[in-house]
């Protein structure tokens, strides 16, 4: 199985596997790394000591997320007409931007290819092919931000042993993706849109709050007290749709095994820790490896990594330079 297929299957729910073959260079790196244990520990502690824990990428990302959503709000409130509509469908200075998952649900429910709608998805499709589909999740989706904040609360409660995290099978999201599609076809309603906290929050911000926010509140409570980031991890079909779209994206977080001490801090902060499976000792097969389509490119791992083993990278560009 090619690495691409493996990563894609991983997004659908398959468990990460140990590499069948590890490149000679990586074997050499690993050998050198662990050759002298004292030196290894010393280097590790040194890196930790000199790591200025920053929230650079998180702060940038929050700023972008807030700016995009604010642009929607202000376009309507101040009538500046830059970004009209909401996250499901909008116009950016006149250009149609249609959310891919929403368009899919609508066409399945309506059972017709709506030509205008289809055309409107192109720009969005192109953006997320280039930037990586799930970048939408962490850099645009308003639910992601709220869930990040309540996740902090969840982690505090876990630390104090008041709650425990209940993990579901990651393949559940794939099942949901199929089920929501089927339900659109069978019922003739865009069933997912009724529940989607992304759409609900986007509309609430722009057009004013409503009862639907109660549902979003319930989801957040479920995530605080029962299962960490459950909606994004195990349910949301938007994430999977964009994940598939961004599978060939040139922008990715890349992992450089040479600099890694395999401590796993990155996996602890990650929304989709399975993409960071390569950071486990012995799992990397190449010197530099991309993280795969399920990565939301949120940059939390980059911020937390004390050695710079994880970075944003544009595929091919580093070779070119």
Residue 18 interacting with another protein (CB under 8 A): no
Q: Quick one: which of 266, 68, 239, 270 has its CA closest to 151?
A: 270
Q: Quick one: which of 162, 165, 302 has its CA closest to 229?
A: 165
Site for another protein in 102-131 (CB under 8 A): 102-103, 106, 109-112, 114, 116-117, 120
Q: Quick one: which of 202, 226, 177 has its CA closest to 218?
A: 226
Is there a contact between 13 and 171 (Cβ–Cβ < 8 Å)?
A: yes
Find the binder of another protein among 140, 147, 163, 200 (CB under 8 A).
200
What is the Cα–Cα distance from 13 to 245, expressed in whole angstroms?
A: 17
What is the maximum span of the chain, computed from C-alpha positions, in angstroms?
A: 66
The size of the interface with another protein (CB under 8 A), counted in residues, is 56
Q: From the CB of residue 272, how many other CB atoms can be counted at a distance below 10 Å?
A: 24
Find the binder of another protein among 60, 166, 268, 315 (CB under 8 A).
166
Sheet bearing 288-290, strands edge to edge: 288-290, 251-256, 310-314
CB nearer to another protein: give 214 or 308.
214
In degrees and rounded to multiples of 5, residue 256 shows phi and psi of -115, 105
Give Cβ neighbours of residue 239 (< 8 Å, ≥ 6 apart).
134, 137, 173, 232, 296
Q: Near another protein by CB under 8 A, which window of 60-68, 98-106, 142-150, 266-274?
A: 98-106
Q: Near another protein by CB under 8 A, which window of 52-60, 123-131, 202-210, 254-262?
A: 202-210
Q: How far is the CB of 84 from another protein (least distance, A)?
A: 5
Binding mask 232-261 for another protein (x = CB under 8 A): --xx--------------------------
Q: How far is the CB of 287 from another protein (least distance, A)?
A: 31
Q: Near another protein by CB under 8 A, which window of 79-87, 124-132, 150-158, 285-293?
A: 79-87
What is the Cα–Cα distance from 100 to 197, expressed in whole angstroms?
A: 16
Q: How far is the CB of 79 from another protein (least distance, A)?
A: 8
Residues that bind another protein (CB under 8 A): 75-76, 84-86, 88-91, 96, 98-99, 102-103, 106, 109-112, 114, 116-117, 120, 166-169, 171-172, 175-176, 179, 183-184, 187-195, 199-200, 203, 206-207, 210-212, 214-215, 230, 234-235
């Amino acid at each position: 199985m090619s690495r691409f297929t493996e990563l894609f299957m991983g997004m659908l729910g398959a468990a990460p596997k140990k590499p069948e073959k590890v490149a000679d260079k990586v074997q050499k790196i690993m050998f050198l790394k662990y050759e002298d244990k004292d030196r290894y520990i010393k280097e590790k502690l040194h890196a930790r000591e000199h790591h200025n824990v920053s929230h650079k990428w998180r702060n940038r990302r929050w700023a972008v997320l807030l700016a995009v959503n604010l642009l929607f709000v202000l376009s309507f409130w101040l009538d500046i007409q830059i970004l009209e509509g909401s996250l499901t469908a909008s116009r950016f200075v006149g250009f149609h931007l249609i959310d891919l998952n929403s368009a899919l649900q609508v066409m399945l429910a309506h059972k017709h290819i709506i030509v205008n709608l289809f055309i409107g998805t192109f720009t969005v499709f192109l953006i997320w092919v280039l930037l990586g589909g799930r970048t939408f999740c962490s850099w645009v989706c308003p639910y992601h931000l709220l869930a990040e904040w309540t996740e902090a609360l969840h982690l505090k409660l876990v630390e104090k042993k008041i709650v425990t995290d209940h993990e579901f099978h990651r393949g559940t999201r794939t099942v949901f993706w199929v089920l929501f599609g089927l339900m659109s076809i069978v019922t003739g309603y865009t069933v997912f849109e009724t529940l989607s906290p992304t759409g609900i929050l986007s509309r609430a911000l722009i057009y004013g709050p409503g009862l639907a926010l109660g549902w979003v509140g319930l989801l957040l409570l479920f995530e605080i007290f029962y299962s960490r980031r459950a909606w994004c991890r195990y349910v949301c079909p938007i994430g999977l749709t964009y994940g598939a779209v961004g599978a060939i994206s040139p922008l990715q977080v890349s992992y450089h095994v040479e600099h890694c001490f395999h401590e796993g801090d990155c996996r602890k902060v990650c929304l989709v820790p399975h993409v960071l499976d390569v950071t486990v000792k012995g799992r990397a097969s190449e010197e530099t490896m991309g993280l795969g389509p399920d990565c939301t490119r949120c940059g939390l791992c980059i911020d937390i990594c004390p050695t710079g083993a994880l970075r944003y990278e544009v595929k091919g560009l580093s070779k070119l330079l």
